[in-house]
Amino acid sequence: MTIQQGFAIRRNGSCLAADIERDCGLKTFPFRACCPIAYECQNIYNSDCCPTGRNCTEELLAAPKQVCANSSWDLLDNGGYFCCESGSTGFNSNGKNLCASPGAFLPASVQLLRPIVTGATDSSSGNASASPTPTATIAGSIAGGIAGLMITGIAIWVILRWRQRQKARKTKEHEDPDICTKAQLDDTSRVHEAADDAKFSRAQVEELPALFPPVELPASSAPTELAAEHQDRMER
């Protein structure tokens, strides 16, 4: 947006705040002519906005290109130059140059006017200067998001699998309390859990090897024949 000497704008009701615009007076009720606060109003020709202490009307008319005092305004011509807000509708009603808000109802008797210079709004210039998002950046963001989801899913699966194993192990030990796990020591004296085939029952007892081989005890006395009386009693 550029503020410069140029033609004034028509506003319905009142100009903007006193520190922004200068009121150049009533044109056609309720429309008033307004200039940027840095410029003075010259009402010799359809309200112009000129530097302080200068009459720039002839300069504006003789210029190769006529302009509004604010480059964001639309410039129109209907037997005299005037400006409207960008996007509004300029029209001629009984020889009067007026501006209507976008979408305002206008009677069929008015003459619509087309801008000869369209104002450059801040939004349009901002959109023009904005650079588009590179395709590679979008693709990289999508790929990164997918990779993150995959890593999260794998981590969740590993945790759930570990919990299932722990639960199964505790359930097995609870159901069979006689099953114990032997610990083995290696050369570093670290304790390691033995394999499944190292499990044994507390009820299982192994016979210890004999320290000495069995021997027959000697007879304490030589065998003797029993008397007949004793033999007869044993036979009975």
Determine, yes or no, domain membership for 226.
no
- Which domain, by its residues, includes 106? 6-128
Q: Chain-wide mean pLDDT for the chain?
A: 77
Do the beta carbons of residue 75 and residue 115 sit within 8 Å? yes
pLDDT digits (tens, 9 = 90+) for 213-227: 665 656 555 555 555
pLDDT digits (tens, 9 = 90+) for 164-207: 888 888 777 666 655 544 444 455 545 555 455 544 444 454 55
Determine, yes or no, domain membership for 112.
yes
119 phi and psi angles, rounded to 5 deg = -70, 150
What is the C-alpha to C-alpha distance for residues 230 and 232, in angstroms, rounded to an integer?
5
Q: What is the pLDDT of residue 74?
A: 95
Determine, yes or no, domain membership for 164.
no
Q: 2-16, 102-116, 194-208: lowest mean pLDDT where?
A: 194-208
Determine, yes or no, domain membership for 167.
no
Position 71 pLDDT exceeds 90:
yes
Do the beta carbons of residue 6 and residue 51 sit within 8 Å? no
Determine, yes or no, domain membership for 50.
yes
Percent with pLDDT over 70 in the chain: 65
In angstroms, the Cα distances linking 69 to 38, 41, 201, 216 are: 10, 11, 102, 137
Q: What is the pLDDT of residue 202?
A: 47
As given in the structure block, the two tokens for residue 41 are 């109003």
Report the number of distinct structural domains present in the chain.
1
Q: What is the pLDDT of residue 183?
A: 44
Determine, yes or no, domain membership for 120.
yes
Determine, yes or no, domain membership for 159.
no
The total of other beta-carbon atoms located within 10 Å of residue 133's CB is 9
Q: What is the pLDDT of residue 167?
A: 83
> What is this structure's pTM?
0.50
Q: Which contacts of 151-159 are long-range, i.e. CB under 8 A and separated by 24 or more positions?
A: none
Determine, yes or no, domain membership for 216.
no
The total of other beta-carbon atoms located within 10 Å of residue 107's CB is 7
pLDDT digits (tens, 9 = 90+) for 130-176: 344 455 667 777 888 888 888 998 999 899 888 888 888 877 766 66
pLDDT digits (tens, 9 = 90+) for 18-38: 999 999 999 888 899 999 999
Half-sphere exposure (Cβ direction) of 39: Cα atoms closer than 13 Å: 28
